[in-house]
Amino acid sequence: MPTPAIKVLALASNVRRRCYRITCYSSRGITNNVANEEVISKPLQSARPFKEIPGPTSFPLIGTLLNYLPVLGKYDFDRLHRNGMLKLQEFGPLVREEIVPGTNIVWVFTPQDIETVFRCEGRYPFRRSHLAVDKYRKDRPDLYNSGGLLPTNGDKWYELRSTFQKALSRPQNIRLYVQGSDHILQQFMDVIKSRGNLSTEDFVPYLSHVFLELVGLVAFDAELEGLTEAGLQPDSLASQLIDAAETANGCIVALDNSLQLWRWIETPLYKKLKRSHEIMERVAVTLVNRKKSLIESQRLTENKQPSLLEIYLSDPKISVKDIVGMAVDMILAGMDTTSFSSSFALYHLATNPNCQKALQQECRELLPTRESPVTLEVLDKAQYTRAVIKESLRLNPVSVGVGRILPEDVILSGYHVPKGTNIVTQNQVACRLSEHFPNPNSFIPERWIKSSSLFQKPHPFLLLPFGHGPRSCIARRLAEQNMHMLFLKIFRNYDVKWCGGTLDCRSLPNKPDQPLLLSFKSVDY
């Protein structure tokens, strides 16, 4: 598993760029903006020097690592959101830190500065991540054309992203999965019922199994049987896939930010990643090729809307190798984020009974019986359900923020920040400030409902749980749809109570810092 220090450096080193800018500066002056974007003119010379940005004292050889020592230090690598709040309170809305000597990280807290960062990303979003995955796949040209969407950059990334996003961006293609997803979620209700008392058992693994099934429905047009009695066992294929994804994600962060000896020799950690990736790869290759053979033997009927996998496999411009890579990426990125996000939302509802009652009322209105399916019409009307998920993501997003390295100089809070600087937005901290949200630490879904007296439109760059711009989560629509459906099903069928202590998160990504202990009581109405 990656060390906490490596996790912070990984967040800071993720690099993305965009195709429009507002307050970016170069040696030639202010960078031109794309049409209709007003440039805020402010001479670079008038900005305060980069070295004057306040922050923790950095010492030779050890940087600010003393602040992160267990017991003695005031910061904790596993609690990035707490670190951020402390730094904001001590140093203000822009903080410069050298955790490792010579490597500056700028922590950005105001939504105005966060917007500027995103507007100054450059022509193509660029990120430095999943480097070992990139090597692994490029070493296997018989299976892959590239490293896939996660590590690839530049024109090749844009080509891949455009290829897959074209179909994913069409709402009708996402809504196609509602019926199949409802079937899977009904199985999940049966699992909860059959388990009886879950109050002493961590519920997160169950969420991982249901989201694996939902990912499999899209990636492979297949059920992976992860919700059967056999599929829930530790040695099942579904459990192996979940473990493989979790292990691989842990290895990726460490391999990206270590001495990269794995580029020349297979280090123990690289071998661990390799074994995990091979598990996911074997399943992806088998199921994608099975579907390909089915399409070739049975032509798609004209009156049937094709699935995403059928669209990709039927397009002669899309290589099966790229589809396999995309399928593996969906397993890698499609379970942890939704499982953890759903965990926090369940916690907030279980500890806020009035909000749970409001959600249950909506569920009863939209789903007359406990077995009623979640349909497109139901999803369109599920206003409070959407507000619940949005409010939970405000309090507990997937990550504390987003890392960027900008290709141009920029002015943030009046300070000159040179190009090439590691910048990390602090959206999670900003979303917990009273200047942006009244009662910021309270779970209030009504603040997102326009007809509510509590509604207040926040700055658009505060809540960014899926990232921002062309390199934001490609499967955002699917993730939101799945979570909305899950909560409609659960709270139509059950009263949920919290059986643990105060839940917080550990980084990176944000996950519950203790077992998710919930009790489920079947409703009679």
* Residue 473 assigned to a binding site: yes
Could you tell me the CATH number of the domain that includes residue 287?
1.10.630.10
In angstroms, the CA 402 to CA 422 distance is 11
**CA–CA dist 391, 388 (Å, integer):** 5
Same domain, 233 and 377: yes
Show which of 125, 157, 174 is a domain's final residue: 125
CA pair distance 319, 173, nearest whole angstrom: 20
Instruction: Look up tokens 């290895």; give the residue.
Output: 251
Give the burial class of 197: count Cβ atoms within 10 A of its Cβ; 0-12 exposed, 13-18 middle, 19 or more buried: exposed
Average pLDDT, the chain: 89
On whether residue 299 sits in a domain, the answer given is yes
- Of 92, 125, 158, the residue at which a domain comes to its end is 125
Q: Is residue 130 part of a domain?
A: no
Return d(Cα 481, Cα 337) in angstroms, integer.
14
Angle at 492 between CA 487 and CA 495, to 5 degrees: 90
Q: Do 222 and 212 meet the contact criterion of CB atoms below 8 Å apart?
A: no
Q: Is the same domain home to 69 and 187?
A: no
pLDDT-derived band at 17, boundaries 50, 70, 90 = very low
Lowest mean pLDDT among 64-78, 111-125, 248-262, 489-503: 248-262
Rounded Cα distance between 309 and 170, Å, is 14
Q: Which domain holds residue 32?
A: 6-125
pLDDT, tens digit (0-9, with 9 covering 90-100), for 456-512: 999 999 999 998 888 888 999 999 999 999 999 999 999 999 999 999 999 878 999
* Residue 457 belongs to a domain: no
Helix (H, G, I), strand (E, B) or coil at 199: coil
- 171/113 same-domain check: no
Task: Report residue 209 as tokens.
Answer: 């199994």
Are 273 and 393 contained in the same domain?
yes
Residue 73 and residue 187 in one domain: no
Closest CA to 213 of 518, 512, 486, 492: 486
Give the tens place of pLDDT for each residue, 84-123: 999 999 999 999 999 888 889 999 999 999 999 999 887 7
One domain, residues 315 and 213: yes
Is 234 within a domain?
Answer: yes
Task: Please give the Cα distance from 287 to 224 (Å, whole number).
Answer: 10
* Unique residue bearing structure tokens 């602090």: 426
Which pTM does this prediction carry?
0.90
Is the Cβ–Cβ distance between 415 and 52 less than 8 Å?
yes
Question: Is pLDDT of 284 > 60?
Answer: yes
| Tens-place pLDDT, residues 182-218 | 999 999 999 999 987 788 899 999 999 999 999 999 9
